[in-house]
Structures are given as structure tokens and as C-alpha cells.
Homo-oligomer: A and B are copies of this chain.
């Protein structure tokens, strides 16, 4: 497949060379797109037998798409909390597991973003290790879970409020920590700004940061790292 191919769908120019150039297919950002536009892209994806993935699918769009895909007997997985839909390659042949990614959340309220990250990791073909509610106010909880993720290729840490967990996790591990600030909090959290700034200024040298609530991006980058780490080793 030519890496510079794209399909002209009118308001969408779907980039089918993305997987060749970037390692994974183009992903559909659901916000601001009508359900009809998303369905149109899904149909192009299915026709070209690509591993489809859509994020930020609101509940009403989700119900509509679930119905349409079910009617057409398409294999897919819809995660309501993550607000994501994965469309499986209709030719079968799912991606084999490529590396491990830990997804750690600081608090129960961070769940939707942690789920988005986990779904993305699954879509990249890596194996997620999912650990919840181990924020710094009860530090023994994190330490109790350390053995679960000590062989991950990279670690996603999802946290709102002051966003201190990535720094703490960073002090225990030898792999990159991808920090995801969330908009969980109130007052001077300013919609996640406090967590974002905290993570950018982490005194742990192995912490890198993505946008507020960007569970998808963290999962995508983690998938790339895991794939690279597992390249000629599996």
C-alpha cells in the first residue's frame, strides 16, 4: 500500500498510508464530527480492512454506531466509560501481543481516562497491566502493587489534582513514565492545568507528559515503545 494514499470522503481525507508511515492506522477523533461522518469513515475502514479506532464517542453517537455496526455484522468493541470503539480487522488476524504497558491511575475519578489509555494499548497490540486508585496520600498502596508492573516496557500514570503520582512512580522504575494529567479536581486545578504543570516540572527525570485527559495519546506512544522494545525479542 502506498504510504501517501488517502481516501477523499469530502469533509474527510482519510489517510490510509498512515500505518505504513507511522506504525499504526489513522485514528478517528470523534468530537466535532457528526455520527454520519464517523459511520462513513468506519465503512471506509472496513472496506480497506484496517484496524479501526475511534475516541471521544459521546453516548448518543455510541448508541447509534453500535446499532449500525451490529446490523452490518461488524466485529467491534465499544467501551462506554472510555468512550472508544475498536473495529477489528474483518480479515481476522488480530495483532499478536507486542510488549507490556502498565496503566496506573491515582484515583477512582480518573477511571475514564485510564480506560481510554487501556483501550488504546489494546488496539496497538500491547498487553496492558491495569492498576487503580494508588494515589500518593496512601503510599503503601502503590508499593503493594509494584511487583505487578516491574516488567512493563513503559508505564502510563493517570492523575488529576496535583498530579504527583508520576514523580513518585518515576523514582522506582527503569522505564519511561508517560504522565497523563486529568481534569479531575476543582478550584485551582483549573481544569487539569495544575496536574499538567506539576508533571512537566517533575523532579523525576523519566517523566514525559501528554495533553490533559489525553489517555489516547499516552496509550499510542506506549504502544510504540512496547512495539519497539519487543521488536526482535519476542
Contact = CB atoms under 8 A, between A and B. Distances in A.
Contact of A211 (B200, B224, B228): B200
Given A33-B109, A161-B203, A233-B233, A141 B187 contact: no
Nearest to A179: B208
A12 B108 contact: yes
Nearest to A220: B205
Interface string A139-167: 11100100000000110000001111001
A185 interface: yes
Interface of A: 3-4, 6, 10-13, 15, 17-18, 21-24, 26-27, 29, 31-33, 37, 56, 106-111, 132-141, 144, 153-154, 161-164, 167-168, 170-176, 178, 181, 183-214, 216-218, 220-221, 224-225, 228-229, 231-233
